[in-house]
Structure 1
Amino acid sequence: MKKGILVIVVLVLLGGVGAYFYVFNKPHRDPSSETASYQISAEEIVSDFRNNQEAANEKYVDKVVEVSGTAMEITDSYIIMDNILNCTILTGHDVSGIQAGDEITIKGRVIAFDDLLEEVKMDNCIKL
């Protein structure tokens, strides 16, 4: 009887260790290699969030989206489009050729809509 309980405890521990390593060692998601769920302008996506944030959250958040608009501010780590879309650039991706005022299309994952600033936040963005 004690031997059976010991075997069960050992199996449960091995299963727990296996699950731990599976969950914490799986590769990170790479939105830049995924196909975009939507192709939309910066004005349209922000308008969707302003009109019905709950529906827009369901539609866009955690999805890869291609967004077109005018680059307003550019650094090595982010691009602001039309003063309403903040895109964090994917590490190692070069955006040096973009100038303020350029019409660009970016692809990235939508994180959230900031109610206070009324802007959409995206990460892992790349210029197309």
Structure 2
Amino acid sequence: MPSRVYGHAIWTNHALKRLSDRGLTQKLAWTTFQYPDRSLPQADGSTIYQKRHQSSVVTVVAKQNDTRQWVIISCWIDPPIAGSADDFKRRRYLKYRQSNLWNKFLMQLGKFFWGLDF
């Protein structure tokens, strides 16, 4: 199970949930944070770190808090790992985009009445 403090950084509950949802290991996300291929500073003070691992790109969003400790805010992998929650959502979305108007309507009804995610 992922740890709240790993590699001298604090991991938010959101980041830990995204790790499990997306099939990522904390070690892989930490490696991306430590040795990124590129980093993109953001206006809010956070930084996006990206690293290519085989055929995927892992992205980690981190920010330093008031005591200058690193806080890992979120992380994901693109394309999603097969069988993960993100992979399921991606396949449903692609199916929705390729559907005709009637099927899109039925998918929206399913989402509205039964909470089915398209």
TM-score (norm 2): 0.27
Q: Determine which structure has the larger helix proportion and give its number.
A: 2
TM-score (norm 1): 0.25
**Whose radius of gyration is greater, 1 or 2?**
1
